[in-house]
Amino acid sequence: MPSMNTPGIKASDVWAGVGLKKYTLAKIHQANPVTSDWYTILDTTLNVILSYIIVKHTYTEARGLTIQITIDGVVMTSATIDVTNDENWFVYIDPTATAEPIVGAATTVIPVYQFIPLEGRSVKVEFRTLELIDGGAALQGAAHYHVREP
């Protein structure tokens, strides 16, 4: 496989060398979301590897959000997370959890050594608010993923 230090080699060349197509970013911006309705960030039946998920809201004060990740039919749901306004929250899987919920979120970027990629043939990422978000404020989410070559 080529090195990233080789002149003329792009990151996409390296990803292709390990059987991955170019990365994709799925996004949602849902103004005035309905309380308790799930909003889908990503829903695919491609063979994908999730790199990261970010959620946030633009309401004027903290709101409780719940995140749900479904991989090949296995559903993982977070506890309600008190998300501060207009701040990115990085979703993670807690490898030390011995019971649900194993999905969490934090405002700090997850260090590479703690990163656990999630892979599946069927991947769905959703989130919802359990409290009112109105006045033009929105739920926002993004999922960065790579498609594995067949």
Tell me the per-residue pLDDT of 85-141, one tens digit each, with 9 for 90 and over: 999 998 988 777 777 778 888 888 766 545 667 889 999 999 999 999 888 899 999
Domains of the chain: 24-148 (2.60.120)
Report yes or no on whether pTM surpasses 0.85.
no
> What pLDDT is attached to residue 102?
82
Helices (H), the chain: 11-17
Q: Which residues pair with 25 in a beta bridge?
A: 144
Closest by Cα among 144, 123, 147 to 73: 123
Collapsing DSSP states into helix, strand and coil, what is residue 114? Answer: helix
Tell me the per-residue pLDDT of 26-72, one tens digit each, with 9 for 90 and over: 999 999 999 999 999 999 998 898 888 999 999 999 999 999 999 99
Interatomic CA distance for residues 141 and 42, integer angstroms: 9
